[in-house]
Structure formats: structure tokens, C-alpha cells
């Protein structure tokens, strides 16, 4: 079903600006994104439109974009499928030169022999045809100028041509259409690599493409969204890296966004999230929170009272809600109890990251999916873990509706699998990387994003700390968190 230009929302406000000094930026809702440099102005236009297409794909709908370049300004509609439609485009008026006086010997024969026609009424513009849209797709920015047919028009004189090229007198604009505030933020100088070293010595250098990419991922995970968001980390096979994934996503989102974040072990019996994170000054679990839900949902309860039931991670700034660790207990969390716990947590937290058990048929597992906004499927680079991840996605797809949509929009995180002893072998590391790439390539056509994580011994045993990871691992998890956040 096609969408007309009048039906496309003007939110968020998007502007694409190309300057004649070889720089360009795309401003989305006041946030500026630097456009990669090109060899020409047209390259800058194409690179700017690529960023706008990405925004349309993120929103899964067409978006309006105000364009401005050295040649003119106007408005385009950009579709997620890379289709570009022109709404308007006004070229900047060229400076006119004063006509050179004709030689005295010249005879203005055209004026003497051709009579200027009477003024003709101007016809209303026609609706754009499919051919016109296709032409815009071939040259989206600036749009092809509208050319008038000359075969049906009477001949015009030189004087009439001069009258046509006269500039219209300037018109006054409304004060609402302008502002003296500078909307484009100043690009901060480089801080990494040799560029950063020179910057610290007093030479201001722009950041590299690698550093700009990292800044964009940080900006993505630092946002706040209206209303709480729930992430479910699932794989029907144990040992697939679910718990480390929950910890790392929670740590990065909490660190950069500053949003209240809780990691919830939604195992139907006893999970391992409590073993891999810092323990608080109590032994309470999700069952204690459910028992106290009436009190916690009371309007008179203070926000700090949630600390009685969760375990704060002092370094990584998120909280953990543990599963029941009573060895003699046999209680299994029900679907209704998942609803109660989720209602409590979304009152106190913006972000809820849920660990899960291995049974996709369990009532608490299925109810978790009901509350999920973004699905994450972790997998270690071992074939049985990858097959279990595929079956998990297939199960959700077969259920249709919300479950199938989550599977299509899932983020798969592939971790290189090896142990500390084998990590000393170069051949073993190469085989692990090759297998991780093979599995990542296999999932890529079926989900929204696939991110690879390098092997890191800090993720194998004991409590997990973000600062204990190697820099390359931290960067990979930041990319994974950004991929997840884009699904919000």
C-alpha cells in the first residue's frame, strides 16, 4: 500500500545539510551526525541520504527530510526501501551579468521580424507520475529540474527572454522561520590513536572513521526512550552465553544512558545470574519481590524501597533480581507471577534485561516473551548452540504475531568459543574465529542484526565486570548494545 506525501509524518525533524567547503551533516531531532567525506558534492549528498535511509529503516516508515546544499534547498521523502521522492526543490538564483552593449553596426533583426506573443495563463502543476518518481530515484538530490516543452510554445523574442530571467523582488519572511541559534554542534576533536595524541599536543585533528563509529554507538545506547523497555535474552541450549550477555548489556546500557536498569533472572527454578554478579547485603529473590508486590506498587512506597529486593552492582551501576536459590525449594514461577514482577520492575526501572531458562514451553518463558520489546539470541561458536538458537527463533516464528515479529527483529550475538588453555594456540584462535564467522553469516539473512564478540577470559568464570574486559571486547559489546538499542 503506497503512502502519499501528505501522510508522511514530519517527526522526527530531519535536515540534511551539504556545504560548499566539503563538509555535510544530518541533524535528526537536534542530534547531529557527521556525513562521511566524498570526492564531490554529489558524493556528500549520497552519503547524507544513506544516513537518512538508515533512519527510515529504523523507524520502518517513510520520513521527511529538509535538504540544503550550495545549489538550492527543498524537501524529500525517504522510504526504508531506498526510494526517494521529491516534494519540492528551489534552486538558488544565479547572479546575472549586465548585458554587453551590441555593436552599433549590429541590426536587431529578431526584434524587427518576430512579434512577442500575448501572455498565456499558467497551468496548475500536475501530480507527479511514476516516471517522474523514477527519475527522482535516479537522481534524488537535487531533483531533476522540470523542463518545459518548447514545441507547443510560440517563438519568443530576445526582449521577452530577458523579461523571463528577471529576478522577483525579495519578499519578507516570517520571524518564525528563522533563528539566531546555532543548531549544528561543534565536532569534538579526536581523542584516540595518533590523532588523539596530536590533539593533546595542541594540534586539533578531526576523529577517524573508527572513532566516529564508536561515538555513534555511544550516542545510540545513551538515549532515553518514552516508557520502559524490556529485553529478553533467550536460547534453548545451556552454555550459550545467556548470562554473560545479560550482564554485559545491562552494564553498558546503565553506564552510558544513566537509566535505571535491572537484570532479572527469569529462570523457572534456579538460574546462574546471581553467581556471576555481585551479591548485596541480603538474600532476597524474585519470590520475595512477588510476595511484597502490593507494598511495592503502593503510591506511598518510596523508590529506594526496591533496594530491599535487588542486588546493586557497584562498578557497573545496574541492579540484579535473582531467581530463587533455595536448594530445598521446588517453586516454579508462573505466568501470573511474571506479570506481577514485571509490573513492579517497570515502575522502578526504565530498562529490564531478562535472563531465561532453557524451556521455551515453560509458562514463565512464554510470558516473558509477551512483555519483550527486543529479543536477543546469544550463541557460542559451537554447532549445537547455534542449532539451538535457530530452533528457538523457529519456534517463535511458528507462533506468529508478536512472537514472530520479535524473531524477525532479533539481534544474534555470536561469541568466539575457546578456553584459556587453547587460547594460547594461534591455530585454535583462528579456527574459533572462522567458526564464529560461519555461524554469524548463517544467521544474518534471518534477523535484524548479527554481532560477533571476541574471546575474552574475563567472561569465562567468576563475577563479570565490564572494566575487566579487553578493549576489543568492550568495543564489541558496545556495538552489540547499540544494535539492541536500535530496536527500541
List pLDDT tens digits, range 76-134: 999 999 899 888 888 877 655 545 555 544 444 443 434 444 444 434 434 444 444 44
Mean pLDDT of 471-476: 97
Quick one: which of 211, 250, 260, 273 has its CA closest to 475? 211
Tell me the C-alpha distance between 268 and 256, whole Å: 31
Residue pLDDT, tens place only, 16-44: 999 888 899 999 887 788 888 888 888 88
Residue pLDDT, tens place only, 269-314: 778 899 999 999 999 999 999 999 999 999 999 999 999 999 999 9
pLDDT at 431: 83
Residue pLDDT, tens place only, 191-211: 888 888 888 888 888 899 999
Residue with cell 534453548: 236
**What's the mean pLDDT when you consider all of the chain?**
83
Q: Locate the domains of the chain by residue range.
A: 1-92+133-145, 217-485
Residue pLDDT, tens place only, 387-412: 999 999 999 999 999 999 999 999 99
Identify the CATH number of the domain defined by range 217-485: 3.40.50.300
Mean pLDDT of 9-14: 85
The Cβ of residue 212 has, within 10 Å, a number of other Cβ atoms equal to 16
The Cβ of residue 226 has, within 10 Å, a number of other Cβ atoms equal to 7
Tell me the C-alpha distance between 318 and 307, whole Å: 11
Check: pTM over 0.85? Answer yes or no: no
- Give the sheet arrangement for strand 374-380, strand by strand: 311-312, 319-321, 261-266, 351-356, 229-233, 374-380, 411-415, 449-453
Residue pLDDT, tens place only, 371-392: 999 999 999 999 999 999 999 9
Mean pLDDT of 427-439: 86
Amino acid at each position: 500500500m503506497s503512502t502519499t506525501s501528505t501522510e508522511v509524518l514530519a517527526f522526527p525533524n530531519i535536515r540534511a545539510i551539504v556545504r560548499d567547503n566539503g563538509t555535510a551533516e544530518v541533524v535528526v531531532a537536534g542530534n547531529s551526525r557527521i556525513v562521511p567525506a566524498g570526492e564531490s558534492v554529489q558524493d556528500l549528498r549520497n552519503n547524507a541520504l544513506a544516513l537518512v535511509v538508515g533512519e527510515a529503516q529504523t523507524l520502518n516508515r517513510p520520513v521527511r527530510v529538509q535538504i540544503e546544499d550550495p545549489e538550492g534547498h527543498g524537501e524529500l521523502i525517504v522510504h526504508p526501501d531506498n526510494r526517494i521522492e521529491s516534494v519540492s526543490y528551489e534552486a538558488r538564483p544565479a547572479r546575472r551579468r549586465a548585458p554587453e552593449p551590441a555593436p552599433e553596426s549590429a541590426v536587431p533583426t529578431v526584434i524587427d521580424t518576430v512579434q512577442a506573443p500575448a501572455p498565456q495563463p499558467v497551468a496548475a502543476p500536475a501530480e507527479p507520475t511514476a516516471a517522474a518518481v523514477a527519475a527522482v530515484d535516479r537522481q534524488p538530490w537535487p531533483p531533476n529540474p522540470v523542463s518545459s516543452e518548447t514545441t507547443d510554445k510560440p517563438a519568443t523574442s530576445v526582449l521577452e527572454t530577458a523579461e523571463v530571467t528577471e529576478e522577483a523582488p525579495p519578499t519578507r519572511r516570517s520571524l518564525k522561520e528563522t533563528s539566531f541559534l546555532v543548531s549544528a554542534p561543534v565536532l569534538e576533536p579526536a581523542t584516540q590513536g595518533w590523532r588523539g595524541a596530536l590533539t593533546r599536543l595542541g594540534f586539533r585533528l578531526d576523529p577517524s572513521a573508527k572513532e566516529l563509529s564508536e561515538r555513534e554507538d555511544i550516542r545510540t545506547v545513551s538515549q532515553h526512550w518514552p516508557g520502559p523497555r524490556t529485553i529478553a535474552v533467550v536460547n534453548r541450549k545451556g552454555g550459550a552465553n545467556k548470562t554473560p550477555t545479560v550482564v554485559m548489556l545491562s552494564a553498558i546500557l546503565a553506564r552510558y544512558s544513566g537509566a535505571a536498569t535491572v537484570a532479572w533472572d527469569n529462570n523457572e527454578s534456579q538460574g546462574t545470574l546471581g553467581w556471576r554478579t555481585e551479591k548485596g547485603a541480603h538474600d532476597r529473590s524474585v519470590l520475595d519481590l512477588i510476595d511484597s508486590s502490593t507494598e511495592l506498587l503502593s503510591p506511598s512506597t518510596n523508590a529506594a524501597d526496591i533496594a530491599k529486593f535487588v542486588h546493586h552492582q557497584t562498578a557497573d551501576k545496574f541492579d540484579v533480581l535473582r531467581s530463587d536459590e533455595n536448594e530445598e525449594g521446588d517453586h516454579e514461577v508462573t505466568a501470573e507471577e511474571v506479570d506481577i514482577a514485571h509490573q513492579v520492575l517497570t515502575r522502578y526501572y526504565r530498562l529490564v534485561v531478562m535472563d531465561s531458562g532453557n524451556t521455551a514451553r515453560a509458562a514463565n518463558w512464554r510470558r516473558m516473551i509477551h512483555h519483550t520489546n527486543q529479543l536477543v539470541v546469544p550463541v557460542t561458536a559451537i554447532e549445537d548452540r547455534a542449532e539451538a538458537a535457530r530452533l528457538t527463533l523457529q519456534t517463535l516464528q511458528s507462533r506468529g504475531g508478536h512472537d514472530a515479529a520479535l524473531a524477525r527483529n532479533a539481534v544474534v550475538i555470536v561469541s568466539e568459543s575457546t578456553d584459556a588453555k587453547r587460547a594460547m594456540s594461534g591455530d585454535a584462535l583462528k579456527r574459533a574465529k572462522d567458526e564464529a564467522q560461519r555461524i554469524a553469516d548463517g544467521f544474518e539473512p534471518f534477523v535484524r542484526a548479527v554481532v560477533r564478540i571476541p574471546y575474552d577470559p574475563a567472561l569465562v568464570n567468576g563475577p563479570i565486570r565490564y572494566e575487566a574486559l579487553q578493549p576489543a571486547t568492550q568495543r564489541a559489546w558496545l556495538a552489540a548494545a547499540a544494535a539492541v538499542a536500535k530496536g527500541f
